[in-house]
Every structure is written in C-alpha cells, then in structure tokens.
Amino acid sequence: MPRQDRIPATPFYRLGGHATFQAITDRFYDLMESEPEFAELRAMHAADLGPMRESLPLFLAGWAGGPRDWFEANPGRCIMSVHKPFEMNKAVAAQWADAMTCAIADVDPQPPELASAMSGILADLARGMSSD
C-alpha cells in the first residue's frame, strides 16, 4: 500500500481499497449462492466458490487501478481468456450484471457517484461478453 500522502486517485483507492472490493465480491457470491434468479450462473461455477472469493477482488483491484497482484500471478491471462471454456450466453451475462449491480448497491461504497459509475461499467462489460 502506498504511503497515505501518495495514494493514487484511482477508483480502487477512492472506493476504499481491498476491504471494499472484498465486500463487493463476497456479497456477489452470497447472492449467487442464495438467489434462484442466479441459479444458471451459479451452476457454471465450481462447487467451491472459495477460490473465486479470493481471486475476483484481486482481479478487480488491478482492473480498477490498484495493486496488480492478480495480473502478475497470471501472466498473459485476461478477461477473455479466463472465460474461454464457458458458454457466455445473454441469460448468464445478464445474471452476472444483475448480481454485481445488487452487490455494489448493497455494499454502498463511497463516493456514490463513483460506485455507480463502476457498477454501470461492470454490468456493460458483462453484457458485452455474451456470445449470442
């Protein structure tokens, strides 16, 4: 973590850093595990969501201008290559977008306008990944 006076003004740091991204991820997978509307998306994932609960916040950290640990640990991997084995249809893409939108709203990171911008971008990104 950079010194307090040198924290970059990227979305990752402005939204509260790892604690915020871990909370969003945990809420996202809690919703996926509990809400029937996300059942198809849940079924695509491994039985144990523990590895994704650790890995997604690290990916999002690097994506949002924070530490790039995930990218350094996964050289050459990107958002397209990690999803290659999966059939990303419109229905599951919408479920991902909806679950993430709810998770960010529930965690309610500050400032709200930045949280809302990130929510919209992630939802668009997920919808844009569908193959049909």
Chain positions contacting ligand HEM, by CB under 6 A: 41, 44-46, 52, 55-56, 59, 63, 79, 82-83, 86, 88, 92-93, 96, 122, 125-126, 129-130
Q: How far is the CB of 12 from ligand HEM (least distance, A)?
A: 13
Q: How many CB atoms lie within 10 A of CB 106?
A: 13
* Cα–Cα distance, 58 to 122 (Å, whole number): 15
Is the previous residue joined to 67 through a cis bond, with omega within 30 degrees of 0?
Answer: no
Q: How far is the CB of 67 from ligand HEM (least distance, A)?
A: 14
Residue number, 3 or 43, with CB nearest to ligand HEM: 43
Residue number, 4 or 40, with CB nearest to ligand HEM: 40
Q: Which two tokens stand for residue 71?
A: 């990218």
Residue number, 4 or 30, with CB nearest to ligand HEM: 30
Phi and psi, residue 25, nearest 5°: -65, -45
